[in-house]
Homo-oligomer: A and B are copies of this chain.
């Protein structure tokens, strides 16, 4: 595997005839099984697999965890070598955004609900970094994890809106044995919080069960889900049932709507998110 550290190096590497299709996995490092599953999926389907690690300052708000976000390039590189990635692209921040950078991507309605409420500039930062990475790497396929579902939708919309011609491959969330969605931020949980954190997935499962049973009243389903969460430490950020494409709230469920049940929870040092997609 090659480790490349600047857009210039990457460009030189990719200019050589590069076996196609190229599969690309953008990450912020702190790699776990969820990321590695993306790499394995790409490895099976693509001739070249490029992974990026870049903790993108643009997608962190003031007071968020940019500084203490897990960074361990050597450990991540070992994991990627084992998963048979071809290129690890880990640019330095100074080489990535020029000093006069002034062209962020704007994002619209999809960026405003759910995580957008507490993180108003987050998805513009995500879209901007992914756009730059896509332009640098020029992949054929982009592998994205479904845990960050709103991020998937924002990026899919950007790819359509800006004619990027990249195929998005949605990869299901990888979970711990007790159901907790894998996340780089799980390392911030205290042992007690870690035990409780499994209830986020349990609440989502409860919600899905009620939908599948035919319940149509969203508020009743939410109340039922909140019962699962009763008594755990920290606090709820949001619990929403939305249209899976527009992310707009759904009031009355019908058999024809594809839904997303999504939750975000603040533990002490960590804000965790999880969701379940329910197809019509």
Listed in ascending order, the chain A residues whose CB lies under 8 Å from chain B are 7, 11, 97-98, 100-110, 124, 127, 131-132, 135-136, 157-158, 160-165
Query: Which of B103, B107, B163 lies in contact with A162, CB distance below 8 A?
Result: B103
Query: Which of B102, B110, B132 lies in contact with A102, CB distance below 8 A?
Result: B110
Q: List B contacts of A161 (CB < 8 A).
A: 97-98, 101-103, 132
Q: List B contacts of A157 (CB < 8 A).
A: 100, 102-103
Count of this chain's copies in the oligomeric assembly: 2
Q: How far is the CA of A256 from the CA of B131 in the complex (A)?
A: 36
Q: List B contacts of A131 (CB < 8 A).
A: 162
| Interchain CB contact under 8 A, A162 and B102 | no
Min CB gap A217→B, angstroms? 28
Q: How far is the CA of A104 from the CA of B108 in the complex (A)?
A: 8
Query: Which of B7, B98, B135, B158 lies in contact with A103, CB distance below 8 A?
Result: B158
Q: How far is the CA of A106 from the CA of B107 in the complex (A)?
A: 10
| Interchain CB contact under 8 A, B108 and A165 | no
| Interchain CB contact under 8 A, B102 and A105 | no
Closest chain B residue, CB of each to CB of A163: B135
| Interchain CB contact under 8 A, B105 and A135 | no
| Interchain CB contact under 8 A, A98 and B162 | no
| Interchain CB contact under 8 A, B106 and A135 | no
Q: How far is the CA of A106 from the CA of B104 in the complex (A)?
A: 5
Excluding A7-B163, A97-B161, A105-B105, 20 further A-B contacts by CB distance (< 8 Å) are A98-B160, A100-B157, A101-B161, A102-B107, A102-B108, A102-B110, A102-B157, A102-B161, A103-B105, A103-B107, A103-B108, A103-B157, A103-B158, A103-B161, A104-B106, A106-B106, A106-B124, A132-B162, A135-B165, A136-B163
Q: How far is the CA of A107 from the CA of B104 in the complex (A)?
A: 7
**Residue from A106, A127, A136, A162 having most chain B Cβ neighbours under 10 A:** A162
Closest chain B residue, CB of each to CB of A164: B135
15 A-B residue pairings within 8 Å (CB atoms): A102-B107, A102-B109, A102-B161, A103-B105, A103-B127, A103-B157, A103-B161, A104-B105, A104-B106, A105-B105, A105-B106, A131-B162, A132-B163, A135-B163, A135-B164
Q: Which 5 A-B pairs have the closest CB atoms?
A: A102-B108, A103-B161, A135-B163, A104-B106, A103-B158
